[in-house]
Amino acid sequence: MNKTGKHGIGVGFKTPGWKNTLLLSDAAYFFKRYNGTFEDNNQNEYYSSYASFNVNLAYNISSNESFCLIPYAGLGLFYENIDGYMSGKPTKYSGAYNVSIDDSLITLLANIGIQMEYSVSEHLFINGGIKFQWVFYDVSYNNFPGITIGVGYRL
């Protein structure tokens, strides 16, 4: 997460597979984060936000009906949007500059993690987990640990 927000919102789906296997899919949006540096000769100011879309293969290793441990691994897409500007005053070595930044990035990422789930009732459950996201484009975007907390509803 290269200078992006660390708080966001998401939605996930769990689809049963063969025996104890599961297909976990999710989408998350992380809120905008402001970044600015102001020095004598230049200014950099921008906002960045990102989203990820993931599909993971998982395995339920718990035998207990009310508590589940679910390790998973999979792939996803990472999207980042950056808006801002850079400007600088003339120096001995360069002239003045003003550059507008409007950039976006889409790249592949890998996920590995474990999710815990506790059933409150037949339909309602609480879950949380920890995961590592490895972005293939640039290791400075890698995120560990990514901690998730949520409330779910079974149909």
Residue 74 within a domain: yes
Alpha carbons 2 and 104: distance in angstroms, whole number: 13
Residue 1 within a domain: no
Residue 33 within a domain: yes
What pLDDT, on a 0 to 100 scale, did the predictor assign at position 70?
Answer: 93
Residue 148 within a domain: yes
The range of the structural domain enclosing residue 65 comes to: 8-153
Average pLDDT of the chain is 82
Per-residue pLDDT reduced to its tens digit, 141-152:
666 667 888 888
CB-side neighbour CA atoms (13 Å) of 99: 13
Task: Output the CA angle 56-62-67, nearest 5 degrees.
Answer: 95
Alpha carbons 15 and 9: distance in angstroms, whole number: 21
Taking alpha carbons only, the member of 130, 104, 95 closest to residue 46 is: 104
Per-residue pLDDT reduced to its tens digit, 82-110:
887 777 777 777 777 777 777 788 889 99
Q: How many domains does the chain have?
A: 1
CATH code, domain with 114: 2.40.160
Please determine, for residue 126, whether its predicted confidence score (pLDDT) is greater than 50.
Answer: yes
Residue 122 within a domain: yes
What pLDDT, on a 0 to 100 scale, did the predictor assign at position 53?
Answer: 93
Please determine, for residue 5, whether its predicted confidence score (pLDDT) is greater than 60.
Answer: no
Confidence of residue 1 (pLDDT cuts 50, 70, 90): very low
What pLDDT, on a 0 to 100 scale, did the predictor assign at position 23?
Answer: 95
Residue 22 within a domain: yes
Residue 26 within a domain: yes
Task: Output the CA angle 41-46-49, nearest 5 degrees.
Answer: 155
Confidence of residue 75 (pLDDT cuts 50, 70, 90): very high
Residue 140 within a domain: yes
Instruction: Give the global pTM.
Output: 0.75
